Chains A and B, each alone.
Chain A
Amino acid sequence: QKEVEQNSGPLSVPEGAIASLNCTYSDRGSQSFFWYRQYSGKSPELIMSIYSNGDKEDGRFTAQLNKASQYVSLLIRDSQPSDSATYLCAVNLGNTGGFKTIFGAGTRLFVKA
């Protein structure tokens, strides 16, 4: 089992729809969770960080964390074609003081105009 798992997709949604991206992790001690967006050939760009159970909203983005289920998700409302990218879930492993980050394989999102 990989430490961080995501559906590789591709996930295709029409413009204006809600895109839902999911991620599960295996390390129960993990405390810090991140969503990054990466365009092909570019560096990962931070979208959201989340540390506590529940929802965290920032503009069109909402991150959801459930530590009991070891599950973190990202919702993108009013999806735009410019949101088309690979979304990476990242987890700081709890037993390393947060100095080691494991990324999921990423979910490719296509937003159709």
Chain B
Amino acid sequence: AAGVIQSPRHLIKEKRETATLKCYPIPRHDTVYWYQQGPGQDPQFLISFYEKMQSDKGSIPDRFSAQQFSDYHSELNMSSLELGDSALYFCASSFKTKGADTQYFGPGTRLTVL
């Protein structure tokens, strides 16, 4: 079965650079969630989109923005990167229209800021 796809899997950036993470949900899933997980920490909810509209927002810095496109894929844009942004970034998807809110996670993007 198709799963959530994230790209790139690994990304190395310098401080103050920008990064774009991409997420392709499971086919027919309409909701995308972004999480940040630091070493030894639980996943922290950043933001979610349902049917291409932002549905909720968590602890997402103002330097970050995200959107969901017409094909339901989502991109997380991160600017003015800081050392503390180094983490695993997970995307998850679900099929909310069907009433199912179980989230399935992608493999994650490991971002390292030097």
Binding site for B on A (CB under 8 A): 32, 34, 36, 41-46, 49, 88, 90, 92, 96-106
Interface footprint category on B = 20 to 34
Chain B 20-53 residues near chain A, CB threshold 8 A: 31, 33, 35, 41-45, 48, 50
- Partner among B31, B41, B88, B104 whose Cβ is within 8 Å of the Cβ of A105: B41
* Most A CB within 10 A of own CB, among B42, B103, B106: B42
Report A97 CB to chain B, min CB distance, Å: 7
Q: Which residues of A sit under 8 angstroms from B96, Cβ to Cβ? A: 98-99
Given the known inter-chain contacts A44-B43, A44-B105, A88-B42, please indicate yes or no for A100 contacting B58, CB distance below 8 A: yes
**Complex: A54 Cα to B74 Cα, angstroms:** 36
Q: How far is A96 from B106 in the complex, measured between Cα atoms in Å?
A: 23
Residues of B within 8 A of A46 (CB): 102-105
Min C-beta distance of B4 to chain A, whole Å: 8
Cβ contact within 8 Å between A96 and B56:
yes
